[in-house]
Structure 1
Amino acid sequence: MSEDITLTENTGALQGKTIFITGASRGIGRAIALKCAADGANIAIAAKSAEPHPKLPGTIFSVAEEVEAAGGKALPMQVDVREEDQVAGALKKTADTFGGIDGVINNAGAINLTSVEATSPKRYDLMMDINARGVYLTAHLAMPYLKQSASGHILSLSPPINLEPRWLGPFAPYALSKYGMTILSMGLAEELRESNISVATLWPQTIVATAAIEFAVGSREMFDQSRKPGVMADAAYEILSTSDKSLSGVQLIDETLLRARGVDDFSQYAHNPAKAGELMVDLFLDP
């Protein structure tokens, strides 16, 4: 659990609530699942990893055990967010099992930091399908359930829109897929303005020690410049616990939100506390 350290206190706001999380078998998704579980939430673990991977620890079943141990109820389901029938079936099973759905977190993602010339059509389609289309599909299919909640949430892990050329030129395909998530979320917030569903995005101020950093962005050495997934879990918990829709339509940064909620010491979130002053600002954010 040291990798998932959280600093904010659980308030019980999610007791009995049902949260559907894509990509929850490891990393940030897993950390959010455990944070919400500690509040007594029901967690639908919707991810592709049903079998152990030699380089990537964690499966839907191992996280389910951790969720139960943390105090929540777990429903592990193998789901590919590109497949409509799988997403629809998982959402229905979640609602049937727990009596409804109160929050959907679009955490599953695909990353490839390559230029247009260097990105194959297959890789481009993968990023667009999992990132941008995944938000559309999950929100589209979850909306009937969320409208039955007293305080529904759709939260997508995507960055604020930043059109500076330095963020577009090196890896426009990935940027397009992530900005697509944000634009869809902004549109959903407006579409659902009169509903009981809040829609927001969340992005880390610094890079977070996950498999994406180790294998897709750089190497494990970059963990020394990273924070633990718990910082995003704490921020997501604050969002899910906010019932007045004051955050709907907002592109949130984890550190900014947590500071506004009273956190002022972020050193314990550092993957390597000795390097806490040398953290790397995440993609799409200007220093």
Structure 2
Amino acid sequence: MTPATTRSLAGKTLFITGASRGIGLAIAMRAARDGANVVVAAKSVTENPRIPGTIYTAAAEIEAAGGQALAVPCDIRFEDQVEAAVSQAASCFGGIDILVNNASAIDLRGIDALEMKRFDLMHQINARGTYLCCKAALPHLRRSANPHILTLSPPLDLNPKWFSPNLAYTMSKYGMSLVTLGLARDLAADGVAVNSLWPETAIATAAVGNLLGGDELLRRSRKPEIVADAAHAILVRPAKSCSGNFFIDVEVLKEEGMADFSTYAVDPRVDAVLDFFLDAPITAKVTKSTFHLGK
């Protein structure tokens, strides 16, 4: 296989949910360096001191990196907003080649503590939102020369340990993965690639810093760029021969010839922490610990 670094997303249009910050923005920036068109579809329209970044600041970064950007306010819980955002994206750039389902909500509380409104929020954004975005983008993807749907969701594993004690969150994330499982088969005849991608380790995002483990977990995480580089490697592959996969970021990059992942470490002096839904480390310097909240 030709290394991903020699292939390009130049001229392709990516519709990325939740792209105002974190992994979504990192994927957008990687595509922008190729000269891609990126639609930033997210709720963040005003600055939040605790979670910096808006669709407008993201669009400015994308354009500074060499891409074209369209900032579209969009809450993927609402069908009318998704349909309007997809229509605006297709009108602006002449179509949509790639959908990245990155937007996600997380709450790890168990059944005794979790309010139903938080349960509903996770399912509306994670499972339903992913399904809705696929449905809305599909007519445009079918007209693309190399259409891809990439969802940030884990490999499916029905071991009960992944469901306890964070049952509601697991249900919602597995819902995203079930969309991949079903649509990969449904859309095979159309030549639309449908895959999921998940990180091997914790990733340094606002959710990790503010909700899960604070500064210590951030220090033992990898940078979002590792997921972005893996996403790029997937999205430049021929759609007809790359579908129905549950990729792990480091496995993808190993296929591209990479062996050293230390540059992605927030702090190379400490071991990275294994992420949710993965049983065993794939690379060296990954450890199971009390921060591995999937246990």
Q: TM class by shorter-chain length?
A: over 0.9
Distance in 2 separating the partners of 1:53 and 1:84:
25
Does residue 283 of structure 1 match 2:276?
Answer: yes
Aligned residue for 2:158?
A: 163
Aligned residue for 2:249?
A: 254
Distance in 2 separating the partners of 1:88 and 1:198:
21
Distance in 1 separating the partners of 2:241 and 2:233:
12
Runs of 4+ in 1 over 3 A off after TM superposition: 8-12
Contact 1:150–1:196 (CA under 8 A) maintained in structure 2? no
Shift of residue 22, structure 1, vs aligned partner: 0.3
SS in 2 for 1:89: helix
The 5-angstrom pairing of residues 141-220 of structure 1 reads: 141-220=136-215
TM-score, length-scaled by structure 2: 0.92
Residue type at the aligned position of 2:200:
Q
Aligned residue for 2:24?
A: 29
Q: How many residues align?
A: 278
Aligned residue for 2:224?
A: 229
Give deviations 1:164-219, integer Å, cap 9, x for gaps. 22211111100000001001111000000111210000000000000111122221
Contact 1:28–1:233 (CA under 8 A) maintained in structure 2? yes
Summarize the Cα distance change of 1:39–1:12 in structure 2 as closer, same or farther, 3 Å threshold. Answer: farther
Contact 2:15–2:96 (CA under 8 A) maintained in structure 1? yes
Does residue 76 of structure 1 match 2:71?
Answer: yes
Contact 1:81–1:87 (CA under 8 A) maintained in structure 2? yes
Shift of residue 244, structure 1, vs aligned partner: 4.0
Contact 1:147–1:195 (CA under 8 A) maintained in structure 2? yes
Residue type at the aligned position of 1:251:
F
Distance in 2 separating the partners of 1:204 and 1:187:
22
Distance in 2 separating the partners of 1:194 and 1:96:
26
Distance in 2 separating the partners of 1:230 and 1:53:
23
Contact 1:10–1:38 (CA under 8 A) maintained in structure 2? no
Contact 2:109–2:166 (CA under 8 A) maintained in structure 1? yes
Q: Any unmatched runs of 5+ in structure 1?
A: 1-7
Contact 1:10–1:39 (CA under 8 A) maintained in structure 2? no
Does residue 265 of structure 1 match 2:260?
Answer: yes
Contact 1:19–1:103 (CA under 8 A) maintained in structure 2? yes
Distance in 2 separating the partners of 1:225 and 1:163:
27
SS in 2 for 1:214: helix
Distance in 2 separating the partners of 1:220 and 1:102:
37
Does residue 129 of structure 1 match 2:124?
Answer: yes
Distance in 2 separating the partners of 1:12 and 1:199:
19
- C-alpha RMSD of the superposition: 1.1
Shift of residue 223, structure 1, vs aligned partner: 1.1
Residue type at the aligned position of 2:34:
D
TM-score, length-scaled by structure 1: 0.95
Distance in 2 separating the partners of 1:11 and 1:55:
38
Aligned residue for 1:101?
A: 96
Residue type at the aligned position of 2:244:
G
Give deviations 1:14-46, integer Å, cap 9, x for gaps. 110000000000000000000000001000000
Residue type at the aligned position of 1:199:
V
Contact 2:16–2:40 (CA under 8 A) maintained in structure 1? yes
SS in 2 for 1:67: helix
Q: Any unmatched runs of 5+ in structure 2?
A: 281-295
Greater relative contact order (CA < 8 Å, ≥ 6 in sequence): 1
The percentage of aligned residue pairs carrying the same residue is 50
Distance in 1 separating the partners of 2:26 and 2:241:
24
Distance in 2 separating the partners of 1:202 and 1:268:
20
Aligned residue for 1:43?
A: 38
Give deviations 1:227-254, integer Å, cap 9, x for gaps. 0000000011011101243330010100
